[in-house]
Structure 1
Amino acid sequence: MKDALQVVPSASDVSTGVRDAGAISDALAGVLADTYRLVFKTHAYHWNVEGPLFYSIHKLTEEQYENMFAAADELAERIRALGKLAPSTLAQIMEHSKIEDRGIELTAAEMVEDLASDHERVAHRLHAVVELVDGRKDPVTEDLATARSAFHESAAWMLRAIAKS
């Protein structure tokens, strides 16, 4: 028996009946990368927001980054359940993410709009995952992607609603 400390994680064949698990895993890895980048950006804005809406934005962003942090684990575990390796370096996260950094001196309104746009970007990416899994016998990923897109759509709406003048 191998020493448990010498075992190296690897992709493996998993017999779930899912067709094209590699393409699905790759799509989920992109969503995971975006989620991690958006967790960090949301947390940074949470720390640095100022102005009359400070408390409201501070609390909302806290709820959102906590949700996304938990979701990152779900996404990674789904990738592993499909028999593939989840991204495991910051370089992989940066490479696969479509979320971009804006700068450090943004107004509260600019932060809110930036986050709302990013949430929409992730929701669109999740919609693409739903389309990808169609007909590939993967209702688990479809359910996960549907639930996550609902979260991101709601997050964008809430952010814009809180900052509306």
Structure 2
Amino acid sequence: MQIDIGITEKDRKKIAEGLSKLLADTYTLYLKTHNFHWNVTGPMFNTLHLMFEAQYNELALAVDLVAERIRSLGFPAPGTYSEYAKLSSIPEPKGVPKAEKMIEELVAGQEAVVRTARAIFPAAEKARDEATADLLTQRIQLHEKTAWMLRSLLEK
């Protein structure tokens, strides 16, 4: 059945492509955060273990929201590691870094998600896609706040 939501197929496709990159970044950050939750050690273990858990739980919910928006626009959501590896701007960690390096990598990951989300805005605004713009605004706000909180742990 044809989709008739007031956004052209061409615009929906462009937005869905951007959201696919956001989904890949979000899922990759989820995996990295969960990995660090399992493997963190050191004097801040309990604080970081719990903080990372809260962050990966939020990211797990976020991937569903982003994927469902892609589907609402009429396109398949990417859902494999190989697709995410091609689409994501977030590198995988090498080995198991020390706690401070984990925090630095997660700050970089949070900021990468913000940049990816921000890059979709022009297409969403041009198409008057308020639903996607709202999703992007919420994601940007949350990732900027999380990056700030993580950066605060690095201050001497």
TM > 0.5 fold call: yes
Contact map agreement 1:109 1:163 (CA 8 A) in 2: yes
Cα deviation, residue 92, structure 1: 0.9
Q: CA 1:24–1:38 in structure 2 vs 1: closer, same or farther (change >3 Å)?
A: same
For 2:79 and 2:48, locate their aligned partners in 1 and report how far apart those are by CA, in whole Å: 31
**2:32 corresponds to:** 41
For 1:152 and 1:18, locate their aligned partners in 2 and report how far apart those are by CA, in whole Å: 28
Cα deviation, residue 121, structure 1: 0.8
**1:118 corresponds to:** 109
**1:14 corresponds to:** 3
For 2:3 and 2:51, locate their aligned partners in 1 and report how far apart those are by CA, in whole Å: 39
Contact map agreement 1:57 1:162 (CA 8 A) in 2: no
For 1:164 and 1:63, locate their aligned partners in 2 and report how far apart those are by CA, in whole Å: 21
**2:123 corresponds to:** 132
Contact map agreement 1:46 1:57 (CA 8 A) in 2: yes
- The two structures have a TM-score, normalised by structure 2, of 0.94
For 1:160 and 1:76, locate their aligned partners in 2 and report how far apart those are by CA, in whole Å: 28
- The two structures have a TM-score, normalised by structure 1, of 0.89
1:59-91 CA distances to partner (integer Å, 9 max, x unpaired)? 111111100110100000000000101003221
Please state if 1:72 is matched with 2:63: yes
Which letter does structure 2 place at the counterpart of 1:52?
A: P
* Structure 2 unaligned blocks of 5 or more: none
Cα deviation, residue 163, structure 1: 3.2
* Structure 1 unaligned blocks of 5 or more: 1-11
Cα deviation, residue 44, structure 1: 0.3
For 2:47 and 2:7, locate their aligned partners in 1 and report how far apart those are by CA, in whole Å: 43
Q: How does 1:53-64 map to 2 (within 5 A)?
A: 53-64=44-55
Dislocated runs of 4+, deviation >2 Å? 162-165
Q: How does 1:136-147 map to 2 (within 5 A)?
A: 136-147=127-138
Q: Percent identity?
A: 38
Give the number of the structure whose residues are more often helix, by fraction: 2
Please state if 1:99 is matched with 2:90: yes
For 1:164 and 1:67, locate their aligned partners in 2 and report how far apart those are by CA, in whole Å: 25
Contact map agreement 2:39 2:96 (CA 8 A) in 1: no
Q: Select the structure of larger CA radius of gyration.
A: 1
